[in-house]
Structure 1
Amino acid sequence: MSLIFTGNIRKLISEKDLTIAEFAEAINEKLSRVNDVLSGKQRPPFDMVEKILTTFDIDANWLITGKNSSSKNPDEQKNYSEEHEYDYVPMFDVEVSAGNGAAAYGATEPAMHLAFRKDWLKSRGLFAKDLNCVVARGDSMEPTINSKDTLLVDTSKNNPRDGHIYVIRSGDVLWVKRVQRQIDGSLLLISDNSTYPPMPLMLADHPDIQVIGQVVQVSKDFN
């Protein structure tokens, strides 16, 4: 969505004969935030999309896809709209450790929102209200998860099942690990990188331990 979105924003700015600074002022946004979106440094946040649609009274399908839904007959428009609708998932400015632990969720407000197709979420049995995104840091889950990968976490799936990957909080530390339940009731936190030994975690001895949710999708970062 980002390339089409930023291209259409530049086209809108040109058609309205505005500078980028004037555009930012019109939608009541910081110039630095608009520049980050236009440069591709930041994905378009949901609140910015809403401001643009409201301020300039433009078609949402055109802004996101470059195609005007009003040019279609009602049946085509309905199908097109449904196919291209997006849900927006909060992205928190925190890192989870694919190593020996990272500071836990300190952010209460999302840094931005990432767009996911509604039909994709539906096909996976996922609901936007249960999802959030965080960034992995470290190499203990390689090759499955690399440092700086974005993790889509389903917070409704917080009852660990063997072999699945979860984000787990212990006090002020967050891990992303594969888990295996043990007979004594503990969890074995397993790294996909064999150079890291498994870590037993006795749940009964650590009431502060919380399974945040299951990692259901990984977006790779190649920078």
Structure 2
Amino acid sequence: MSIFLQRLRSEIERIGVSELARKAGVARNSLYNWCEKGNIPLDKLFLLAEHGVDVDYILHKKNNASENTPMDEFGLIPVREDIEVSAGAGAFVGLEDNSGYCLAFRKDWLNSRGLKEKDLYVVFTRGDSMEPTISDQDSLLVNTAEKMPQDGHIYVIRSNDTLWVKRIQKLLDGSLLLISDNKIYPPMQLNLNESSDVEVIGKVVSSSKNFY
């Protein structure tokens, strides 16, 4: 277990999960999730600081000369609050770079999967077309370095000003079949050769559930 995660857990346990959830106005499940994975948004970490969590201890304080700063173990991945990807009928997108905050991911986890921080960002979903795999308001880690579709994998795709998150199947004519895991939604076909405004944004490499 990382030093960051150990200290985050100890601080939350020191105050008490129920007490901290009540004071900060967050769900207990969110606290449990942050303690389990260590992927806590920085704005939420500072919110907890307002209610007694010692952020300086979690992020900076060293117990001995050989201890690394905990945040050195993490890569900060920007969250694109200006973007929602559709797990439904399609979501309008503003493509300007407008990151709201960052999520921390362990660097050893990223490295083990060949992921580079500069290629990644986090977006949120809207809709139920990818249930049960991806739910409404789940967060997705998207790797923009992987733009060559592989059958059966999940990608974020842009068509004009609309973004979808779908499972992809490549057809013989070069077009893409966008498949929803929720079978009440029919597949959609996009032809990359006939339209210059269709783009594979990146591959979904991880998703996180929200409980509030």
Of residues 124, 133, 149, the one that matches 1:135 is: 124
**Is the Cα contact below 8 Å between 2:152 and 2:169 reproduced in 1?**
yes
Q: CA shift at 1:206, angstroms?
A: 1.3
State the Cα deviation string for residues 53-79 of structure 1 (Å, max 9, x = none).
xxxxxx97x333xx832x3253xx25x
Q: CA shift at 1:39, angstroms?
A: 5.6
Residue of structure 2 in register with 1:151 after alignment: 140
Please tell me whether residue 68 in structure 1 is matched to residue 57 in structure 2. no
Please tell me whether residue 219 in structure 1 is matched to residue 211 in structure 2. no
Give 1:1-223 correspondences, 5 Å limit. 4=8, 43-44=41-42, 62-64=57-59, 68-69=61-62, 71-74=63-66, 77-78=67-68, 81=69, 85-93=73-81, 94-223=83-212
Return the structure number with greater relative CO, CA threshold 8 A, min gap 6. 2
Q: How many residues align?
A: 176
Distance of 2:114 and 2:71 partners within structure 1: 17
Q: TM-score, normalised by structure 1?
A: 0.69
SS at match of 1:204: coil
Distance of 2:124 and 2:171 partners within structure 1: 28
Q: CA shift at 1:4, angstroms?
A: 3.1
- Structure having the larger proportion of residues in helix: 1
State the Cα deviation string for residues 112-143 of structure 1 (Å, max 9, x = none).
11111111111222111110010000000000
Q: TM-score, normalised by structure 2?
A: 0.73
Gapped regions of structure 2 (runs ≥ 5): 16-23, 28-39, 47-54
**Is the Cα contact below 8 Å between 2:58 and 2:70 reproduced in 1?**
no
Instruction: Tell me the amino acid that sits aligned with residue 43 of structure 1.
Output: P
Q: Percent identity at matched positions?
A: 47
**Bigger-Rg structure (1/2):** 1
Distance of 1:186 and 1:39 partners within structure 2: 47
SS at match of 1:120: helix
State the Cα deviation string for residues 24-70 of structure 1 (Å, max 9, x = none).
xxxxxxxxxxxxxx66699315xx8xxxxxxxxxx97x333xx832x
Q: CA shift at 1:82, angstroms?
A: 7.1
Distance of 2:70 and 2:97 partners within structure 1: 31
Instruction: Tell me the amino acid that sits aligned with residue 97 of structure 1.
Output: S
State the Cα deviation string for residues 160-184 of structure 1 (Å, max 9, x = none).
1101000000000000000000001
SS at match of 1:136: strand
Gapped regions of structure 1 (runs ≥ 5): 12-37, 49-58
SS at match of 2:193: helix
Root-mean-square deviation (CA), in Å?
3.0
